[in-house]
């Protein structure tokens, strides 16, 4: 694995911090590490006074960058974040806390390494278990630490998206079950109404058959006026053949 390039001067280290580098301490190698936003890293020998100076500068730069951020978009026009953006934002906000713990707790960095190994293997298990045996081939093909980190991070985002998709599917299944129940209820109610509707239609046909022409025309006018007042269009009752027009 290629080692990080070493910084020759303190001014060079400060310039990297102004460009967005994060500062943390590698206790195993007793070195100060500057991690750039693109994932590249630079190191210099550890010194308490220098480390504190660089950490203070990092906090100043971080605070200034937060103040210079663009105003938040109004809530009504805010674009929904993608799964990848949610993941990146979450990691970006919490990573400094982890790096601080690495600085303060002697065993924490070793624990993170063990967790990282297990997490890496878990990404293979949940996406393509057989590909884990090709790990030497993958490493040889990528030939770069940052590319390999991106490779694993893409898989983690994929797993995160899959888990959210599963939750959405379960929610939709529950809603589908509710709709099926509602549909069954409405269907049963419709089956109860249909006989009554058919019976009323039969009574109406009998009434039409008993009406004379004058009564039929009067009934038609009443139904038309009532339909207009309700905003409902109904079929005009057909007049008997041979009837006189008004």
Distance CA 59, CA 56 (A): 5
Q: Taking the model in full, what pTM does it have?
A: 0.35
Same domain, 129 and 63: no
Instruction: Name, in order, each residue with C-beta under 8 angstroms of 43's C-beta and a sequence gap of 6 or more.
Output: 3, 4, 5, 6, 7, 26, 29, 31, 32, 33, 34
Same domain, 62 and 7: yes
Helix (H) or strand (E) holding 241: none
Determine the 3-state secondary structure of 18 from DSSP. Answer: helix
| Domain assignment of residue 112, yes or no | yes
Same domain, 141 and 58: no
- Compute the C-alpha angle 38/43/48, nearest 5°: 125
| Domain assignment of residue 84, yes or no | no
Q: Which pLDDT score, from 0 to 100, does residue 83 have?
A: 54
Same domain, 52 and 125: no
pLDDT in tens, the chain (246 residues): 445 667 768 888 888 888 888 887 887 778 888 888 777 788 888 888 888 888 888 888 887 877 665 555 455 445 555 655 666 677 777 778 888 887 788 888 888 888 888 888 888 887 778 888 888 888 888 888 778 877 887 787 777 777 666 666 677 677 777 888 888 888 888 888 888 888 888 877 888 788 888 887 887 888 787 767 665 444 444 454 444 444
Strand order in the sheet with 31-35: 22-26, 31-35, 41-45
| Domain assignment of residue 180, yes or no | yes
Q: Which two tokens stand for residue 237?
A: 């009752």
Of the three residues 48, 69, 90, the one that is the final residue of a domain is 69
Same domain, 133 and 232: yes
Same domain, 62 and 126: no
| Domain assignment of residue 76, yes or no | no
| Domain assignment of residue 34, yes or no | yes
Distance CA 194, CA 226 (A): 24
Distance CA 58, CA 66 (A): 12
The domain containing residue 120 runs over which residues? 105-237
| Domain assignment of residue 92, yes or no | no
Domain count, the chain: 2
Instruction: Name, in order, each residue with C-beta under 8 angstroms of 219's C-beta and a sequence gap of 6 or more.
Output: 211, 237
Same domain, 116 and 223: yes
22 C-beta neighbours (distance < 10 Å), count: 20
22-26 and 31-35 strand pairing: antiparallel
Q: Which pLDDT score, from 0 to 100, does residue 4 have?
A: 60
- Compute the C-alpha angle 228/233/236, nearest 5°: 95
Q: Which pLDDT score, from 0 to 100, does residue 242 have?
A: 47
Phi, psi of 31 (to 5 degrees): -135, 155
Q: Is the dihedral of CA 64, 76, 93, 85 positive or negative?
A: negative
| Domain assignment of residue 2, yes or no | yes
Same domain, 38 and 130: no
Same domain, 13 and 117: no
Instruction: Name, in order, each residue with C-beta under 8 angstroms of 143's C-beta and a sequence gap of 6 or more.
Output: none
| Domain assignment of residue 244, yes or no | no
Same domain, 182 and 230: yes
């Amino acid at each position: 694995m290629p080692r990080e390039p070493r910084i020759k001067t303190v001014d060079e280290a400060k310039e990297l911090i102004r460009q967005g580098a994060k500062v943390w301490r590698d206790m195993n190698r007793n070195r100060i590490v500057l991690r750039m936003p693109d994932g590249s890293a630079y190191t210099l020998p550890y010194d308490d006074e220098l480390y504190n100076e660089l950490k203070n500068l990092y906090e100043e730069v971080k605070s200034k960058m937060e103040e210079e951020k663009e105003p938040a978009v109004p809530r009504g026009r805010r674009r929904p974040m993608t799964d990848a953006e949610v993941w990146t934002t979450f990691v970006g906000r919490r990573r400094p806390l982890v790096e601080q713990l690495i600085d303060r707790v002697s065993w924490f960095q070793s624990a993170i390494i063990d967790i990282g190994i297990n997490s890496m293997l878990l990404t293979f298990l949940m996406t393509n278990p057989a590909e884990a045996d090709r790990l030497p081939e993958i490493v040889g093909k990528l030939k770069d630490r940052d590319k390999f980190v991106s490779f694993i991070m893409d898989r983690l985002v994929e797993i995160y998206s899959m888990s959210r998709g599963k939750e959405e599917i379960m929610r939709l299944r529950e809603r589908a079950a509710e709709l099926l129940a509602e549909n069954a209820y409405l269907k049963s109610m419709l089956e109860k109404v249909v006989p009554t509707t058919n019976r009323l239609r039969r009574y109406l046909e009998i009434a039409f058959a008993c009406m004379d022409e004058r009564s039929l025309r009067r009934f038609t006018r009443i139904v038309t006026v009532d339909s207009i007042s309700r905003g409902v269009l109904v079929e005009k009752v057909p007049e008997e053949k041979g009837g006189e027009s008004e």
